Amino acid sequence: MSIVKIENVRVLDPIQKTDQVKTVYIENGKLIDAVEHVDEVINGQGKWLMPTMVDLCARLREPGQQQHGTLKSEGKAARANGILHVITPPDSKPIVQDNGALIHGLIEKAWLDGGIYMQIIGAQTQALNGKQPANMAGLKKGGCTAVSNANAAFENDDVVIRTLEYAAGLGLTVVFYAEEAQIAKDGCVHEGFIASRQGLPMIPAIAETVAIAKYLLMIEATGVKAHFGLLSCGASVELIRMAKAKGLPVTADVAMHQLHLTEHLIDGFNSLAHVRPPLRSEQDKALLRQGLKEGVIDAICTHHEPLSSSAKIAPFEETQPGITAFDTYVALGVQLIQEGVFEPLEWVEKVTIIPAEVANMRERWLQEAGWVLLDPEQQWTVSKESILSQGKNTPLLGQQLTGKVVHTFA
């Protein structure tokens, strides 16, 4: 393999916690000591070098939904945008994440087809039916370190408690995408003036906070390690803050789009802004940013959900929720830095080493991570042509963003 020399590049290293401009040498995705012979020299002036990223929540659509995306198309999009480790929820169609043997095959296919390391969250209940616990011992044997019921409802709270006890006994993390089904009902957007004016069914913030509060009590009772994914409400941040202050073994993440986009985008029935949990208020956005800055929220994920164009062509509430996110992830991160939310190294930590720790894969990430060269000043327009993902479903279409991955060394 070739040896690349990158001169005068700003190296953002969350492992050593250093931020400095220097010349580096890379071979097979690893930093090496200076050598006499190099195969390529890159001028790194004005560019940043950081480790490859870890994404805590992305749907790659295979198996069963290849009309939206495949392990090949989405893997290549993730890798080209500096994301080498991708963690997927257990709700593919058909559901195979309650079978440890099938999970191993998918992980291998993700590497062969897409060039990414995929980690699959196992099903918490059989086929996500919300009734009987899945074979968590088999899932752990198949390589799962976490389980979840994704967006599927539980039949009752007793089922939740039994699965938490089961997971705790095996040392598995339980991942919650918290939403109280009886409150959310058939809602599709944030409860507010815009939704009310358009007559759209609403999902109030309390649907999330009630679920989080209930699950936190169960976590305290069972001692299970838990992660709350895709927080969308400012009030949720305070619940996680109190849980951490009590010493409960909980972590949390937020999708990048929740740090930038709000309910205003649904005006005019813009189905490209239909996502679940829904885009919420400006106040929620501000509180999520603050919670992330303070470390109450641990990490940022993409919540990548590629969809075919037909999935967004229907009355708003009948369209499929989801935003394609791999291609805009870095630029939106750079925007957080430009807006003064983070210093560059802080942002890098939120998308690399911290999510690796949350996913119980710090040592594995240290062994497998490569390096990403990005240009924080490169301007580009979000278009169906510039998006590498098979899904082109983003409300950012037509917007000019700043920040682009130049090369992924892995």
What is the tens place of the pLDDT at every residue in 110-169?
999 999 999 999 999 999 999 999 999 999 988 899 999 999 999 999 999 999 999 999
Q: What is the pLDDT of residue 101?
A: 73
Q: What is the pLDDT of residue 155?
A: 95
Alpha carbons 97 and 197: distance in angstroms, whole number: 40
Alpha carbons 81 and 116: distance in angstroms, whole number: 11
| Tens-digit pLDDT profile for residues 266-321 | 999 999 999 999 999 999 999 999 999 999 999 999 999 999 999 999 999 999 99
- H or E segment to which residue 332 belongs: helix 329-338
Q: Which residues are 41's β-sheet partners?
A: 5
Does residue 233 sit in helix, strand or coil? Answer: coil
Alpha carbons 276 and 230: distance in angstroms, whole number: 9
Query: Using 50, 70 and 90 to split pLDDT, how confident is the model at 97?
Result: low
Q: What is the pLDDT of residue 346?
A: 98
Of 83, 73, 66, the closest CA to residue 302 belongs to 83
One-letter amino acid for residue 194 of the chain: I
Alpha carbons 276 and 320: distance in angstroms, whole number: 9
Q: State the sign of the Cα–Cα–Cα–Cα dihedral 185, 190, 191, 195.
A: negative
| Tens-digit pLDDT profile for residues 196-211 | 999 999 999 999 999 9
Alpha carbons 25 and 76: distance in angstroms, whole number: 24
Over the chain, what is the mean pLDDT?
96
Alpha carbons 189 and 274: distance in angstroms, whole number: 7
Other Cβ atoms within 10 Å of 155 Cβ, number: 12
Q: What are the boundaries of each domain within the chain? A: 51-368
Note whether 120 and 144 are within 8 A (CB). Answer: yes
Question: ∠ CA(355), CA(395), CA(347), 5° rounding?
Answer: 25
| pLDDT higher than threshold 70 for residue 330 | yes
pTM of the model as a whole? 0.97
Q: What is the pLDDT of residue 368?
A: 97
Alpha carbons 294 and 143: distance in angstroms, whole number: 32
Determine what percent of the chain falls in helix, strand and coil, rounding each to the nearest 5: 35, 25, 40
51-368: CATH number: 3.20.20.140
- Percent of the chain surpassing pLDDT 70: 99
Query: Using 50, 70 and 90 to split pLDDT, how confident is the model at 390?
Result: very high
Note whether 74 and 390 are within 8 A (CB). Answer: yes
- Please give the radius of gyration of the chain, using alpha carbons only, rounded to the nearest integer: 21
Query: Per mean pLDDT, which range of 102-106, 368-372, 379-383 is the poorest?
Result: 102-106
Q: Which residues are 119's β-sheet partners?
A: 87
Phi, psi of 152 (to 5 degrees): -80, 145
Note whether 176 and 215 are within 8 A (CB). Answer: yes
Identify the DSSP state of 1.
-
Note whether 47 and 10 are within 8 A (CB). Answer: yes
Furthest C-alpha separation in the chain: 68
| pLDDT higher than threshold 70 for residue 397 | yes
- C-alpha pair distances (Å), 231 with each of 42, 164, 289, 315, 360: 39, 20, 11, 26, 20
Note whether 309 and 272 are within 8 A (CB). Answer: no
Output 103 or 347, whichever has higher pLDDT.
Answer: 347
What does the chain come to in residues? 410
Is-cis flag, bond preceding 63, omega within 30? yes
Note whether 316 and 274 are within 8 A (CB). Answer: yes
Strands 371-381 and 400-409, by their bridges, are: antiparallel
